[in-house]
Amino acid sequence: MAESWATFGRDLHLDLTGSGGVRAALTRALREAVRTGRLAPGTRLPSSRSLAADLALARNTVADAYGDLVAEGWLTARQGSGTRVAHRTVPRPGAVRAAPPEQDRRPAHDLRVGTADVSAFPRSAWLAAGRRAISTAPNDAFGYPDPCGHPALRAALADYLARARGVRTDPARIVVCAGFMQGLAVLGRVLRARGVRELGVESYGLWLHRDVLRRAGLRTVPLTVDGHGARTEELAGHRGVRAALLTPAHQYPTGASLHPDRRAAVVDWASRTGALILEDDYDGEFRYDRQPVGALQGLDPEHVVYFGTASKSLAPALRLAWMVLPGQLAAEVAEVKAAGEWGTGALEQLTLAEFIVSGAYDRHVRAMRLRYRRRRDRLVAALADRAPHIRATGIAAGLHAVLELPPGTEQSIVQAARWQGLALDGLTRFRAPDAPTPHYDALVIGYGTPPDHAFGSALEALLGVLP
């Protein structure tokens, strides 16, 4: 026994490179010996005096290490019975049963829709804004943040949105969210609590948004979408529908701007019936043929919730978006948001506030507008030149375009593109399953996605798979 313990002592590998010195190293080594089963449950350990002698350590060091492991539950210490390994099988951590990642291999060319050109993220300007914001922030800014957003960012947004998007608001009605989807989920829960059961959506849109609404307990009723946007006049025919989610500036993804008559119709509907319009203004800053059309919210701030985001204008990585609420909803939304405790990091918010107030946001949007506009022009010119039977539909705006295809060809073209290493989306993916809109074959081309240097080759790859 004495011999085996001497061996044990010699075999203990004391790794002194970790933190905490000799005692911590001995604790780790003993813990590993229990974990790996080299010390079986019930085994009595040598006295601290004898192990200390074996290892040429101070007795207290060993006694302290034993004490640590008793406190953690690896060893037990009983009067008269000495220190023993606890009777417990020590399970190994299980392997992760995770679904394989959906998009593991990166495509050679990426024209999928939904992401800005993140290679153009203004790293230096962002870091400079962060430096100014964080080094001058009052200490309070590092405490628990207001779940509705930092006052400095809300003030900067109120000013910016009025100026750039014609939104009528004050900071108290702005709620900062960790992305559009969080805002939509919170608002969905508030609507449900108010008794809303059905919500109009556009026949084409992002399935994720419909899912979020469904999880909030709302039924989605699709509206017909055509070349003038959603047929908002259909809302009056659905008695149970008390809210509608729309993309007025640039229908997502088919690309129309909502016709003035339909803007009027939907605002009148909301005001007449007390319904609520959810305005998803995801890319409102990016219009190339004219001044951007101002937000619908400006027409009726008490019946429109305006949603904006930094995901398209800056980068999705920031997870920063904002809602502008009717006054009567602000308190309810704040309550749900606070109860969920999904605050957004305050330092990023302060950085964005400084980025906006300093003018860097406007400069970046202007630069990106030019970049995206050139890409769209290049796409349209290339089509006219080399695939004149394919038309880019929708207004000159945003980060994507829709290419109408000959009937029945969409699926095979998406498939062929994938084989060529070109990732892109067919329009079918965006169609609500219960949509009344007659379907047509088309590609949704996210020309804003690739970095500048890769756009040309992605465009070539696209031209190569078009019929």
The DSSP symbol for 138 reads: -
Nearer to a copy of itself, 371 or 440 (CB): 371
Residue 201: strand pairing partners: 222
Judged by CB under 8 A, the stretch of 37-45, 161-169, 399-407, 414-422 that binds a copy of itself is: 161-169
* 294 is a site residue for a copy of itself (CB under 8 A): yes
Determine which residue in the list 9, 25, 57, 68 makes contact with a copy of itself, applying CB under 8 A: 68
Contact stretch for a copy of itself (CB under 8 A) within 68-76, 230-238, 369-377, 402-410: 68-76
The vertex-56 CA angle with 43 and 74, nearest 5°, equals 30
Strands (E), 291-359: 304-309, 321-324
Exposure on the CB side of residue 43, measured as CA atoms within 13 A? 16
Question: Of the candidates 22, 29, 63, 86, which one interacts with a copy of itself according to CB under 8 A?
Answer: 86
Strands (E), 74-163: 75-78, 82-85, 109-110
Question: What's the closest the beta carbon of residue 155 comes to a copy of itself, in angstroms?
Answer: 14
Among 22, 59, 64, 373, binds a copy of itself (CB under 8 A): 64
Q: How many CB atoms lie within 10 A of CB 175?
A: 26
Any idea what the Cα angle at residue 138 is, between residues 137 and 140, rounded to 5°? 120
- Binding to a copy of itself (CB under 8 A) within 118-147 occurs at 118-119, 121, 123-124, 126-127, 130-131, 134-135, 139-145
Among residue numbers 446 through 465, which ones bind a copy of itself (CB under 8 A)?
451
**In this structure, is the dihedral angle defined by the CA atoms of residues 435, 436, 440 and 445, taken in order, positive or negative?**
negative
Print the binding letters for residues 191-230 with a copy of itself: x by CB under 8 A, - otherwise.
Answer: -----------------x--xx--x---------------
Distance separating alpha carbons of residues 270 and 249, to the nearest angstrom: 18
What's the one-letter identity of residue 462?
L
CB of 4 to a copy of itself, least distance (A): 26
Q: Which is nearer to a copy of itself, 271 or 428 (CB)?
A: 271
- Quick one: 100 or 407, whose CB is closer to a copy of itself? 100
| Nearest-angstrom CA–CA distance, 392 and 400 | 10
429 binds a copy of itself (CB under 8 A): no
By beta-carbon proximity to a copy of itself, the closer residue of 341 and 434 is: 341
Instruction: For residue 446, give the nearest of 410, 422, 464, 465 by alpha carbon.
Output: 422
Does the footprint of a copy of itself cover residue 1 (CB under 8 A)?
no
Identified binder of a copy of itself from the candidate list 53, 347, 380, 387, rule CB under 8 A: 347
Residue 253: cis peptide before it, omega within 30 degrees of 0 = yes
Q: Taking the complex as a whole, how short is the minimal distance between the CB of residue 73 and a copy of itself, in angstroms? A: 4
Which string of b and e fits 22-40 if b means at least 16 CB within 10 Å? bbbbbbbbbbebbeeeebe
Name which of residues 368 to 407 contact a copy of itself (CB under 8 A).
none
Does the protein bind a copy of itself through residue 97 (CB under 8 A)? yes
Q: Which is nearer to a copy of itself, 305 or 390 (CB)?
A: 305
